[in-house]
Chains A and B, each alone.
Chain A
Amino acid sequence: MNRLLAFATAALLLGLFALDAFAIDPLPFKDRSEEVRFQNLTKQLRCLVCQNQDLADSDAPLAGDLRKQVFEMMRAGKSDAQIKEYLVARYNDFVLYDPPLKPGTWLLWFTPLALVLIGAFAVVRIVRARGRLAVAAHAGVKDNVNSGDDDW
């Protein structure tokens, strides 16, 4: 138990703070927009060593190598999609923070909206049904704040 805890702590610390803070990586960007593109791109990529950090913020040596790789590919004129494809081909979809839309992720992308639609449908149906009662009961309501209806 002690050893497990110590190892976990060490792994955590090693992950978060490597002995050298490589994440701060001044690269020779030619202008601001190239730098912003690089930042946006590396923020979308996962560091596989410390798996809960993105490539932009990870101190791991591998992250430094991959940042260099991304930079070189950007300079070589590759698009964001091509760079991502390059990394996915080697490291698996897992390296992307944005889950790609494919049969394995349909459940992920479509369920929340499906829930909202189902819920909305149910709401409309139920409220409409009650609404018919309400219209009969509240005909002629005036905008009077002192009536019970506006009170909190």
Chain B
Amino acid sequence: MNRLIPLFVFFALVGLLGFGIYWNKHHEMSEVPSPLIGKAAPDFTLPLLYEPEKTISGKQLLGAPYLLNVFGSWCPTCQYEHPILTQQIKPLGIKLIGLDWKDEPDDAKRWIAQFGNPYDALITDRDGRAGIDFGVYMAPETFLVDAKGVVRYKRIGMFTEENIRDELLPKIAQMQREASR
């Protein structure tokens, strides 16, 4: 019996490694789950891109859910995500707020002029402080925040048809079910 122990331990190891391959195929290994899910979104007060003397704060957004999309003109993946935002995210009817992260306002304006503005509101976080509060570590990232200000979902990386269908839509449905109770 003792002599079978190494074999059993090895099979456990193989199982783990096989799981690893499967996990690797279905998950982006560099994604780090956000500790903010289920907690109140961090408060922020940030200027609008086109009217920097005006600001929007997290408190003002309470009462209706919103999607906070973090992007930058320096981010190539954000270009790929842009049409998806316009064609698939916006039609969902939830307020879409764009957060221009660690970017020069002029570059951002040029980018928006070139690609179009899908956002209901466009704010800038030039030095990245608000980004740190939200735990942003790359672009694009998108947060789903409900009417009470609780973070329900974070998408790390660009949206694709699959994760909109498999992750975002169910979360929105759940959020709306809870709201209607």
A interface with B by C-beta (< 8 Å): 48-49, 51, 61-62, 65-66, 69, 88-95
Give the contact-size bracket for chain B: 10 to 19
- Contact A69:B132 (CB < 8 A) given known A49-B137, A91-B35: yes
Most B C-beta atoms less than 10 A away, residue of A66, A69, A91, A93: A91
Interface-side segment among B26-34, B59-67, B82-90? B26-34
Total residue contacts A-B, CB cutoff 8 A: 37
- Contact A66:B132 (CB < 8 A) given known A48-B137, A49-B137, A61-B102: yes
A88 touches which of B30, B35, B42, B128 (Cβ 8 Å): B35
Contact A65 B127 (CB under 8 A): yes
The CA of A69 and the CA of B127, in the complex, are separated in Å by 11
Contact A90 B36 (CB under 8 A): yes
**Residues of the B chain whose Cβ atoms lie less than 8 Å from the Cβ of A62:** 128, 137
**Residues of the A chain whose Cβ atoms lie less than 8 Å from the Cβ of B36:** 90
CB-defined interface of B122-144 with A at 8 Å, one 1/0 digit per residue? 00000110001111011000000
**Residues of the A chain whose Cβ atoms lie less than 8 Å from the Cβ of B133:** 90
Contact B35 A89 (CB under 8 A): yes
Contact B132 A90 (CB under 8 A): yes
Give residues 98-156 of B contacting A (CB, 8 Å): 102, 127-128, 132-135, 137-138
**Residues of the B chain whose Cβ atoms lie less than 8 Å from the Cβ of A94:** 32
A92 touches which of B34, B127, B134 (Cβ 8 Å): B34
Most B C-beta atoms less than 10 A away, residue of A49, A51, A90, A94: A90
CB closest chain-A residue, reference B74: A61
The CA of A93 and the CA of B35, in the complex, are separated in Å by 8
Which 10 A-B residue pairs are closest in the complex by CB-CB distance? A90-B135, A48-B137, A94-B32, A65-B128, A91-B135, A92-B35, A92-B32, A62-B137, A51-B30, A49-B137
Most A C-beta atoms less than 10 A away, residue of B30, B33, B42, B132: B132
